[in-house]
Amino acid sequence: MNMLVDKAAIIKASTFKPSERVTLLGLDFGSTTSSALVTSAKVSSSSATGRMQLADVAVTYKSDPAFTPFINQRIDTEKASVLIAQWLKQSGIKLDEIFSGGSMITGLAAQADNADVLSKLITSIVGDSIIATADDPCLESWLAFMGSCSALSRYHVDVPIINFDIGGGTTNTALGINGDVLQTGCFFIGARHFQFVAGSYQLIAMSSYGLALLDVLNIHTRIGETFTEGEIAEIMAFYVSALEAIVTSDADFFDSEITQKHSQVAITLTPNTKSSITFSGGVGELIYKITAGETLPTTTYFGDFGIDLALTISRSPILSANLKHCVPEHKGRATVVGLTLHCTEISGNTIYLPKPDCLPLRNLPIVAKLAADNAMEQWHSAFTLAAKCRHGACIQITTANTLKQIRALAQKISNCMHASKYEPSRPLLILVEANIGKALGNYISNWGQSMQNVIVIDEVVLRDAHFVHIGRLHQQMIPVSFYGLN
């Protein structure tokens, strides 16, 4: 064995001091408002699974919500950069302190034609420590569930929970049980498809979804004109009927052209499933204010239908059934909480990292999830696809535990890399569930003799995702963030 290579390549997480804490940052740019959250957490080993995890989480900074800056239908990136700089200054964190986290551009903000420009701007300001992504509806639905009601779900172990995260542009929907998300969906149902002069119903802007809905409802009100009470009731009835159809598994409701237009990612729930319903997002927060008997802001205070939608939902016998006894921990900030605390896995006890300077690795496509005993045709197909990824690729592997299996797996990976002519300098990330990173990496590289840039990260909970972000080595750990969830 080449001991010099071995010592450089194998990072031992056991050297991490449990008393040390890490900083996580979350940024959320939504249809109506944007916010930031900074938390501090201790990394420790789970007594249940043995995996490294974030524990003893404390919120160190929570920004006030700010209106997402737009110029017509485009995000005002100049004002957005000022917002980010303001949040960083107020929080007092230094960029090199950030362990992980993420930034999401959601709802109508994600529909803006310069949303990707904002993603790049965030990366240029904050750096490579966090993921920055736009228009990832299934990930947003997953994050909203985890951020709002994962603790509630684990408390009510056997009760399925449907969470509606309702913002300005979208309703992100997730079904979970015992803290695990089973299904996700997303619908263009939100408060800000119609915008008004605050305090009135005089229309000053509307989305393409809003315009299409008016045409179907035969409502002729346009920009500069004012909705009547009857027209408002018709619009609210459509939105609430759509939410009720999701809960009751009424697939026929979404057969029409207008309802299909409002369905970005469909979710099919099992009929007659007795689920509890929770809400999050800006409209969700208003719903629970109504339930608690708190005073609401005045008419169209936010310049949209937020208050009207919350009131109409709270009157629905189907949607309001659990409002009093099934209240999530986080409401209006569910997505940013989920983004900050739940999008990151932490590497296991040992990782194989021959070239630490290659980190971070952004936007690595996950080309396959393979089992060690899958047919060779599947293995060769995965590596052929990986070899076409110019900046590197990721393959998830679900099984291999014994030394004999690890050796066979390593040989299979080496053979496939050779057959596919995988570029040696290009990173190939292998994610595995078992604690085999050190052994597998060494066998693949023939104990450091191979020039291939193979990275093996172990003890990671694998997900059905399209992309992965690998952060920098930090206190002998690597943060692993998934996005583009199926």
* Domain CATH for 108: 3.30.420.40
* Domain total of the chain: 3
- Of 116, 135, 154, at which residue does a domain stop? 135
Burial of 306 (0-12, 13-18, 19+ CB in 10 A): buried
Q: What does the pLDDT read at residue 475? A: 66
29, two tokens = 């740019």
- Least Cα distance to 172 among 485, 467, 461 occurs for 485
- Of 330, 361, 385, at which residue does a domain stop? 330
- Of 330, 364, 392, at which residue does a domain stop? 330
Residues 209, 143 share a domain: yes
Cα(357)–Cα(360) distance, rounded to whole angstroms? 8
Cα(293)–Cα(188) distance, rounded to whole angstroms? 28
Cα(329)–Cα(140) distance, rounded to whole angstroms? 17
Whether 128 is covered by a domain: the verdict is yes
Query: Do residues 164 and 173 make contact, with C-beta atoms less than 8 angstroms apart?
Result: yes
Whether 337 is covered by a domain: the verdict is no
312, two tokens = 């109409």
Instruction: Write the CATH number for 390.
Output: 3.40.50
Q: What does the pLDDT read at residue 382? A: 93
Question: Could you tell me which residues come within 8 angstroms of residue 146 by beta carbon, excluding any fewer than 6 positions away?
Answer: 181, 338, 341, 342
Residues 198, 49 share a domain: no
Residues 301, 258 share a domain: yes
- β partners of residue 277: 162
Instruction: Write the CATH number for 318.
Output: 3.30.420
Per-residue pLDDT of the chain (486 residues), as tens digits, is 332 233 333 333 334 454 578 888 888 888 888 989 898 888 776 655 666 777 778 889 999 989 899 988 789 999 999 999 999 999 999 888 888 877 888 778 888 888 888 888 888 888 766 666 766 788 788 888 888 888 888 888 889 999 999 999 999 999 988 888 888 899 999 999 999 999 999 999 999 999 999 999 999 999 999 999 999 999 999 999 999 999 999 989 999 999 999 999 888 887 767 889 999 988 999 999 999 999 988 889 999 999 999 999 999 999 999 998 888 877 666 677 776 766 777 776 678 998 888 888 888 889 989 988 889 999 999 999 999 988 899 999 987 778 888 999 999 999 999 999 999 989 999 999 888 888 899 999 888 888 889 999 988 888 877 888 888 877 667 888 887 665
Residues 278, 191 share a domain: yes
Q: Global pTM?
A: 0.77
Question: Could you tell me which residues come within 8 angstroms of residue 430 by beta carbon, excluding any fewer than 6 positions away?
Answer: 394, 395, 397, 413, 440, 441, 444, 454, 455, 456, 457
Cα(148)–Cα(294) distance, rounded to whole angstroms? 20
Q: What does the pLDDT read at residue 51? A: 67
Query: Do residues 26 and 340 make contact, with C-beta atoms less than 8 angstroms apart?
Result: yes
Whether 415 is covered by a domain: the verdict is yes
Q: Which amino acid is at 288?
A: Y
409, two tokens = 């797996």
Residues 450, 356 share a domain: yes
Residues 261, 159 share a domain: yes
The 3-state DSSP class for residue 426 equals: coil
Q: What does the pLDDT read at residue 415? A: 94
Q: What does the pLDDT read at residue 379? A: 94
Residues 436, 287 share a domain: no
Residues 258, 185 share a domain: yes
Whether 5 is covered by a domain: the verdict is no
Q: What does the pLDDT read at residue 435? A: 85
227, two tokens = 């909705």
Whether 116 is covered by a domain: the verdict is yes
Q: Using the 8-state DSSP alphabet, how is residue 251 labeled? A: G
Residues 281, 400 share a domain: no
Whether 77 is covered by a domain: the verdict is yes
Residues 51, 192 share a domain: no
Residues 301, 197 share a domain: yes
Whether 93 is covered by a domain: the verdict is yes
Structural domain of 478: 347-485
Residues 119, 25 share a domain: yes
The length of the chain is 486
Cα(171)–Cα(185) distance, rounded to whole angstroms? 8
Whether 365 is covered by a domain: the verdict is yes
